[in-house]
Amino acid sequence: MNIINLAMANIRKNKSASVSLFIFILVAALLLNIGLMVITQINSFFDNKVEQLSDPHVSIMMDKASYHADYEAFLANYSRITNTETEEIIMMGSAKFDFGNSELNNSIIIFNAGNSRMMGPLKLIEKLNTSGANDIYIPYSFKTSGNYRLGDSFTIHYQNKDYEYRIAGFLETTMMGTNNVGVMKFMLPDTPYQALADKLDEQSDAMILSAVMEDKTQSTKLLNDFTKEFPQSVVGETTSYILGLDIEMVKSVNTLTVNIVATILVAFAAIIVLVSLIVIKFRVSNSIEDGMANIGALKALGYTSLQIVSSIILQFILIALSASMAGIALSYGLMPFIGGVVSALNGLVWEQSFDITINIVSILVVVLSVVIVTLLSAFRVRKILPVVALRGGIRTHSFRKNHFPLEKATGGLHFLLAIKSMLANAKQNTMILLIMIALTFASVFSMVLYYNIASDKTAFVNMFGSEPANVFIDVKPEADTREFLREIKQMDHVKKVNIFDLITTKVDGQTVYTNVTDRYDDLENNVVYEGRQPTHENEISISWVVSNQINKEIGDTVEVEYGAETKRYLVTGVSQSIGNLGQIAALTMDGIQQLQSDYQGSTLYVYLNDIKNKDFIKNLKEQYGDNIVETLDIDENIESQTGMYTAAVFAIMVMVLTITVLIVVMILYLVIKTMIIKRKKEFGVMKAIGYSTIQLMSQISISFLPVITAGVAIGGVLGYFFTNPMLSALLSSAGVKRLDFTIHLPTILILCVSIVILAYIVSLLVSRRIKYISAYGLITE
């Protein structure tokens, strides 16, 4: 009880120090808790949603013509299947609609909301109370990242016709709720469904087979077995198709981006927690040193070291406990924002549950770290004899040296005094150095993230595996693609043109989206992170997802099936892509011609100079309208595809940057102020000797600058070299194998210089206080 009194008395005494410590611990706990909650809940979040929405674990869609009753039987007899269901749906192979600020091209399947079903029933998050004749229910991601609201009109462009609907509700689904799976799920009430079915041709009539399994993780295997059992002839024509999705795959794609965001958040939280810990250590050892005389007096009274240390620890535990609790409470206030980001990323409603375990873990981690740090600092109290403490730490045997004796050293007086004080406070300076390094690293880290995600998105977008051309042209099959390519090349403002097809092939029995182009060297985004892209006709590169699925690596050969032909190819590289379920392969034009000798390619990627994409498209249509099936503004498409990621990550980045700036300023102020207050007596004496305020101020600044500059320099260099490796290492668990963020040197330099300047200004501002205090006041205080 006596110890509690001591601790409380200490807290009251050092109010401002306690408050600043409180804030640091609060921020640390806040970030840690958010990070932990996101990372622990994101995994089960998706699974829980699947459970909650009774979504199927495997969905197989096909046109009605391809449907066979055996399929259903196969599913029903497959081991450990709990339930299967078959339903008629409408499927639009390539539909266009507005999404966000741009137009999106995607496959759509449409369910009849009037039918009842066990798997994936209609679950509306929001809906209109009135019903109309042309109501439609679309996934929630249209609201979170597609800029739609209830009651808005929604137009689907399919087969050169527009179908207009009114959004009557947003549905929640795990399976086909976002635009990165390749298929999106809509629902229509019975009347408009029938109306639409009537309008469309037979090709759009489709069936969907759904299955729920005992063990979700087996879903991939089931789909593989299905495709093995019923090998499809994937001919280039789009009349017949079978499309399978399994929940594991969808989950990995869907949670990927969320994981990236969460990992970044956790990494940042970890850095801030670390910085806070260093600052806490700094504060704790300072407060112990300041209270040395008190400790001596207590020891003289007969307090044991244990009692004194425990009062110190208790003091900090009290602060840490209250601050981390406040931080955690605050994190619940902030979670809806994070939840919004998550919803934007996977189109599912984030329900924040109160996770007591995580909260306790966060509190424990923070409090324990504080205790350990305090223990480390307070440990020396144990060994100190009371006399030594009363004398302010002067020991029986001292080996202190007088560095740079004034009688011998050459150099300006102020410079020498500054150096002397720098060396005399070596321990504290080491601390400041550490803090500055950590701080600068954190700043550079968040700056790099911000720069790459908010300012220059290239590296971030490249991560998704899309090719940064400007205009996409779908050439009519009957046109001569190569001739057309040459003609476009002649057009004004065209930098270059590549054939860049995306077809589906089967690689070792696995359906894979396959890029085809003449020379991969001509492309701008090299998605291969290991090995190289194919250059010869018998070479292929596959994405790591495929590599994992078929268990093949560089140097192995794979069997590629396209149309009726099958041929073996040598894997020369492993690539990475986030779109198209991450299942990507790449063949050369020569390579695809091994399978289909008259393959000529049908997609052109045009790279433009000094012209707006829309204008170019207009020109193109005017000149070569006959040859073109369709054109696409790629920039816009990328924008709409990655828009939801960038928007989400941008929000996080803004938060990160804000916190960083706040913390930087706070720490600088705190550290410099502490240091100056600590040496107040010394300054008072110097003032009494006859040093002027200006002289003292410049001396303070000089003695700070080397340490701060060194810290900033080291932190900057670390940030420059280790941000990418660190992010790669972190994100590789989230599925990003290749990360090459632009480290914009000038930005970093400016950042570092501004930290130094900021520190200098803060030190000047703080040291100005000396002016108002008389020498006497400084000494006696």
Residues at the site binding another protein, with contacts judged by CB under 8 A: 2, 5-6, 9-10, 12-13, 293-294, 296-306, 382-383, 385-388, 390, 396-401, 531-532, 535-539, 554-555, 570-573
Our CA dihedral for 163, 166, 172, 173, rounded to 10 degrees, sits at -10
Query: Hey, how many other C-beta atoms are within 10 angstroms of the C-beta on 336?
Result: 12
Angle between helical axes of 693-732 and 247-290 (0-180°, round to 10): 150
**Contact (Cβ atoms closer than 8 angstroms) between residue 38 and residue 262:** yes
d(CA 18, CA 25): 10
Residue 526 has, within 13 A of its CA and on its CB side, a CA count of: 13
In angstroms, how far is CA 696 from the centroid of its own chain?
Answer: 47
Q: For Cα atoms 185, 188, 190, give the angle at the middle one, nearest 5 degrees.
A: 140
Judged by beta carbon, residue 300 or residue 661, the one nearer another protein is: 300
Work out how close the CB of 493 gets to another protein at its nearest, in angstroms, rounded to a whole number: 31
Work out how close the CB of 170 gets to another protein at its nearest, in angstroms, rounded to a whole number: 48
Judged by beta carbon, residue 255 or residue 311, the one nearer another protein is: 311
Two tokens, residue 526: 């090299």
DSSP result, 498-558? EE-EEEEEEETTEEEEEEEES-GGG-S---EEEE----STTEEEEEHHHHHHHT--TT-EE
Judged by beta carbon, residue 161 or residue 400, the one nearer another protein is: 400
Judged by beta carbon, residue 83 or residue 305, the one nearer another protein is: 305
Work out how close the CB of 308 gets to another protein at its nearest, in angstroms, rounded to a whole number: 9
Judged by beta carbon, residue 382 or residue 495, the one nearer another protein is: 382
Q: Locate the DSSP E strands across 128-160.
A: 135-139, 153-158
Note the residue count of the chain.
781
Two tokens, residue 358: 């995580």
Nearest partner of 429 among 711, 664, 699, judged by Cα: 711
d(CA 295, CA 676): 22
Judged by beta carbon, residue 223 or residue 390, the one nearer another protein is: 390
Judged by beta carbon, residue 483 or residue 521, the one nearer another protein is: 521
572 class by beta-carbon count within 10 Å (0-12 exposed, 13-18 middle, 19+ buried)? buried
**Contact (Cβ atoms closer than 8 angstroms) between residue 657 and residue 506:** no
**Contact (Cβ atoms closer than 8 angstroms) between residue 324 and residue 300:** no
Judged by beta carbon, residue 80 or residue 400, the one nearer another protein is: 400
Work out how close the CB of 411 gets to another protein at its nearest, in angstroms, rounded to a whole number: 24
Work out how close the CB of 591 gets to another protein at its nearest, in angstroms, rounded to a whole number: 11
Work out how close the CB of 219 gets to another protein at its nearest, in angstroms, rounded to a whole number: 33
Query: Hey, how many other C-beta atoms are within 10 angstroms of the C-beta on 594?
Result: 18
Please measure the distance between the N-terminal and C-terminal CA atoms of the chain and give it in whole angstroms: 31
Work out how close the CB of 780 gets to another protein at its nearest, in angstroms, rounded to a whole number: 11
Query: Hey, how many other C-beta atoms are within 10 angstroms of the C-beta on 202?
Result: 9
The residue to which tokens 């596959």 are assigned: 542
Judged by beta carbon, residue 495 or residue 568, the one nearer another protein is: 568
Across the strands, what pairs with 44? none
Residue 650 has, within 13 A of its CA and on its CB side, a CA count of: 11
In angstroms, how far is CA 496 from the centroid of its own chain?
Answer: 33
Work out how close the CB of 375 gets to another protein at its nearest, in angstroms, rounded to a whole number: 16
Indicate the helix (H) or strand (E) that contains 584. strand 584-588
> Given the DSSP bridges, would you call strands 124-127 and 161-171 parallel, antiparallel or unpaired?
antiparallel
Work out how close the CB of 558 gets to another protein at its nearest, in angstroms, rounded to a whole number: 12
Phi-psi region of 160 (alpha: psi -120 to 50; beta: other; left: phi over 0): left
Q: 3-state DSSP call for residue 426?
A: helix
Judged by beta carbon, residue 505 or residue 588, the one nearer another protein is: 588
**Distances from the Cα of 226 to the Cα of 197, 235, 237, 633, angstroms:** 28, 19, 22, 37
d(CA 434, CA 437): 5
Phi first, then psi: what are they for 506, rounded to 5°?
-115, 120
Judged by beta carbon, residue 72 or residue 537, the one nearer another protein is: 537
Work out how close the CB of 778 gets to another protein at its nearest, in angstroms, rounded to a whole number: 17
Judged by beta carbon, residue 555 or residue 690, the one nearer another protein is: 555
Judged by beta carbon, residue 494 or residue 571, the one nearer another protein is: 571
Work out how close the CB of 304 gets to another protein at its nearest, in angstroms, rounded to a whole number: 4
**Contact (Cβ atoms closer than 8 angstroms) between residue 440 and residue 715:** yes
**Contact (Cβ atoms closer than 8 angstroms) between residue 652 and residue 334:** no
Work out how close the CB of 11 gets to another protein at its nearest, in angstroms, rounded to a whole number: 9
Judged by beta carbon, residue 80 or residue 383, the one nearer another protein is: 383
Judged by beta carbon, residue 349 or residue 685, the one nearer another protein is: 685
Work out how close the CB of 208 gets to another protein at its nearest, in angstroms, rounded to a whole number: 41
Work out how close the CB of 296 gets to another protein at its nearest, in angstroms, rounded to a whole number: 7
Phi first, then psi: what are they for 634, rounded to 5°?
-65, -40
Judged by beta carbon, residue 294 or residue 458, the one nearer another protein is: 294
d(CA 669, CA 780): 24
Work out how close the CB of 540 gets to another protein at its nearest, in angstroms, rounded to a whole number: 10
Work out how close the CB of 406 gets to another protein at its nearest, in angstroms, rounded to a whole number: 17
The residue to which tokens 């990003």 are assigned: 736
Judged by beta carbon, residue 313 or residue 497, the one nearer another protein is: 313
Work out how close the CB of 9 gets to another protein at its nearest, in angstroms, rounded to a whole number: 4
Which DSSP symbol is given to 232? -
**Distances from the Cα of 687 to the Cα of 176, 185, 473, 693, 777, angstroms:** 74, 77, 78, 7, 11
Work out how close the CB of 300 gets to another protein at its nearest, in angstroms, rounded to a whole number: 5
Judged by beta carbon, residue 220 or residue 588, the one nearer another protein is: 588
